[in-house]
Amino acid sequence: MGAPQEDFLRLYATSPIHVTRLERLLVAYGNDDDERDAFARRFISWDRDCPHPEAARVVSEILAMCVDRSGKIVRLSDDVVEASIRWTAEETSLSLPERAGRLRDALSSSDPAAAQSLFGSRSIKASSAES
């Protein structure tokens, strides 16, 4: 495990159980340590660009719960992940728990348009193995 992955876990794991979930998340977002390090760096960068101190942590927890029928974490595109952090930070008309619930519902939906409708006019891809 590279330093970016360790930083990711240190920043977003709030308890020992979160460490395991986030390790699984990193595995879903990279086929090897280099790809997982790159994803961790991008995620941390999106977090730093965001004005809300908890948005990325909340998103990391939700992403770790987006699973398919077999229980495998569904890998969303980087565009969706970044938009999720931005939306969670910027949608101040809702409380943080309300934002988390809506985001969880949209990202877990089998309807690819659910995330797009939540994020409004932002152009995003629903899921991708490429990003």
Asked if pLDDT for residue 130 goes beyond 70, the answer is no
94-127 residue pLDDT tens: 999 999 999 999 998 877 777 778 877 554 444 4
Q: Where are the alpha helices (DSSP H) in 1-131?
A: 3-12, 16-28, 33-48, 55-65, 78-90, 96-108, 113-119
End-to-end CA distance of the chain, in Å?
20
Please give the model's pTM, rounded to 2 decimal places.
Answer: 0.86
Do the beta carbons of residue 55 and residue 88 sit within 8 Å? Answer: yes
Domains of the chain by residue range: 3-119
C-alpha span between 50 and 63 (Å, rounded): 17
Measured from the Cβ of residue 96, the count of other Cβ atoms closer than 10 Å reads 14
The pLDDT tens digits of the residues spanning 75-86 come to: 999 999 999 999
Q: Both tokens of residue 1?
A: 């495990």
- Dist. CA 65–CA 67, nearest whole Å: 6
> Which is nearest to 59 in space by CA: 104, 20, 92, 29?
104
